[in-house]
């Protein structure tokens, strides 16, 4: 075990620190103690500020009554930042309960009616400005989609023709969002199947938030990309918090967003999926 970690973590009786699966951004560990186990995230080469948005998101979840890990502490080791959380024991549960919980989260709105968050999005090798604005289109298109487009071009992953296709998609998104009345809901920000679980008592829980206040269709778009959400999830969500007309057409924008994030991060393997998502928007 790393002696520095043992000394800096706010825990007594640490018996072991075991690497576990924790996603593509952080190194993750189960911390065995004389009491309950804890969950440790480590981000090499970063300051404690790296976890500010995730901590704020988990605290917002707690305030909204959303089941999620609770923050124990955060800080810095010599080689990077750390975040210590309660450990969630996995079990099995209902997609209907998950749908109702996500709807409950989305019914938590930003009091001033504006979009954004107090901290930027930090995703390892890509970040986005979450500065407050009264325009969802500004936050989503100008500060996320356009940033992704430039990152993809800088990496040589798109040709000029593909960039021009994106600009046509951008025109469609801009026009359709101008006709849609968005409300700033509390969003998970990265709601794919790897970021929820069911606890040992059957309750659904969310973790690894990339929080912001935005249009709730953004989260639902993420759920459609990699599977893991059944018809029961969407039916229960709709019953709890019905979607506006045209939602499933707009949800394609957020599906494209997540695929472009993966193209920017992981390269060529996502080119075909991104191209198909753009064509789906243009061929409506």
CATH number at residue 55: 3.30.200.20
Instruction: Encode pLDDT of 206-222 as tens digits.
Output: 999 999 999 999 999 99
> Do 44 and 78 reside in the same domain of the chain?
yes
> Do 258 and 125 reside in the same domain of the chain?
yes
> Do 164 and 117 reside in the same domain of the chain?
yes
Q: What is the rounded radius of gyration, in angstroms, for the C-alpha atoms of the chain?
A: 19
> Do 69 and 185 reside in the same domain of the chain?
no
> Do 71 and 109 reside in the same domain of the chain?
no
What's the pLDDT at 3?
A: 86
What's the pLDDT at 26?
A: 82
**Domain that includes residue 28, residue range:** 3-86
> Do 163 and 252 reside in the same domain of the chain?
yes
Of 22 and 25, which is predicted with more confidence?
A: 25
Note whether 213 and 144 are within 8 A (CB): no
190 given a catalytic annotation: yes
> Do 117 and 235 reside in the same domain of the chain?
yes
> Do 240 and 107 reside in the same domain of the chain?
yes
- Which of 136, 165, 195, 179 minimizes the C-alpha distance to 256? 165
277, pLDDT greater than 90: yes
What's the pLDDT at 1?
A: 59
Computed over every residue of the chain, the mean pLDDT equals 95
What's the pLDDT at 123?
A: 74
Go through the chain and tell me how many residues it has.
284
Catalytic position from the list 97, 190, 201, 235: 190
What's the pLDDT at 25?
A: 74
> Do 175 and 277 reside in the same domain of the chain?
yes
Taking CA 220 as the corner, what is the angle to CA 217 and CA 225, rounded to the nearest 5 degrees? Answer: 130
What's the pLDDT at 21?
A: 80
> Do 154 and 62 reside in the same domain of the chain?
no
Q: What are phi and psi of 21, to 5 degrees?
A: -65, 135
- For β-strands 212-214 and 185-187, DSSP reports them as antiparallel
24, pLDDT greater than 90: no
Of 68, 86, 104, the residue that ends a domain is 86
- Which of 274, 284, 282, 279 minimizes the C-alpha distance to 149? 274
Instruction: Encode pLDDT of 244-274 as tens digits.
Output: 999 999 999 999 999 999 999 999 999 999 9
What's the pLDDT at 79?
A: 85
Number of neighbouring beta carbons within 10 Å of residue 116: 22
User: Looking at residue 133, which CATH number applies to its domain?
Assistant: 3.90.1200.10
Average pLDDT over residues 31-53: 92
Average pLDDT over residues 5-17: 91
Instruction: Encode pLDDT of 62-117 as tens digits.
Output: 999 999 999 999 999 988 999 999 999 999 999 999 999 999 999 999 999 999 99
Instruction: Encode pLDDT of 220-233 as tens digits.
Output: 999 999 999 999 99
What's the pLDDT at 230?
A: 98
Of 35, 66, 86, the residue that ends a domain is 86
Average pLDDT over residues 128-147: 97
Note whether 116 and 130 are within 8 A (CB): yes
> Do 170 and 59 reside in the same domain of the chain?
no
23, pLDDT greater than 70: no
> Do 171 and 197 reside in the same domain of the chain?
yes
Q: How many domains does the chain have?
A: 2
Question: Which residues, other chains included, contact 76 with Cβ-Cβ below 8 Å and sequence gap of 6+?
Answer: 47, 48, 82
Of 57, 86, 115, the residue that ends a domain is 86
């Amino acid at each position: 075990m790393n002696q520095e970690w043992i000394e800096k973590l706010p825990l007594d009786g640490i018996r072991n620190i075991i690497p576990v699966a924790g996603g593509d951004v952080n190194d993750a560990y189960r911390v065995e103690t004389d009491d309950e186990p804890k969950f440790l995230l480590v981000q090499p080469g970063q300051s404690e500020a790296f976890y500010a948005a995730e901590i704020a998101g988990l605290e917002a979840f707690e305030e909204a009554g959303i089941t999620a890990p609770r923050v124990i502490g955060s800080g810095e080791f010599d080689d990077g930042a750390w975040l210590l959380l309660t450990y969630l024991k996995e079990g099995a549960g209902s997609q209907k309960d998950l749908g109702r919980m996500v709807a409950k989260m989305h019914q938590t709105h930003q009091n001033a009616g504006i979009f954004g968050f107090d901290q930027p999005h930090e995703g390892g090798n890509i970040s986005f400005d979450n500065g407050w604005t009264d325009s969802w289109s500004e936050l989503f298109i100008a500060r996320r989609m356009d940033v992704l487009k430039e990152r993809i071009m800088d990496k040589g992953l798109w040709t000029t023709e593909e960039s021009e296709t994106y600009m046509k998609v951008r025109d469609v998104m801009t026009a359709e969002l101008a006709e849609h009345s968005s409300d700033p809901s509390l969003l998970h920000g990265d709601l794919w199947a790897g970021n929820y679980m069911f606890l040992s008592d059957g309750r659904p829980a969310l973790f690894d938030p990339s929080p912001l206040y935005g249009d709730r269709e953004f989260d639902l778009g993420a759920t459609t990309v990699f599977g893991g959400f059944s018809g029961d999830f969407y039916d229960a969500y709709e019953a709890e918090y019905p979607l506006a007309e045209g939602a499933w057409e707009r949800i394609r924008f957020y599906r494209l967003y997540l695929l472009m994030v993966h193209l920017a991060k992981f390269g060529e393997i996502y080119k075909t999926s991104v191209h198909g998502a753009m064509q789906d928007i243009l061929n409506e």
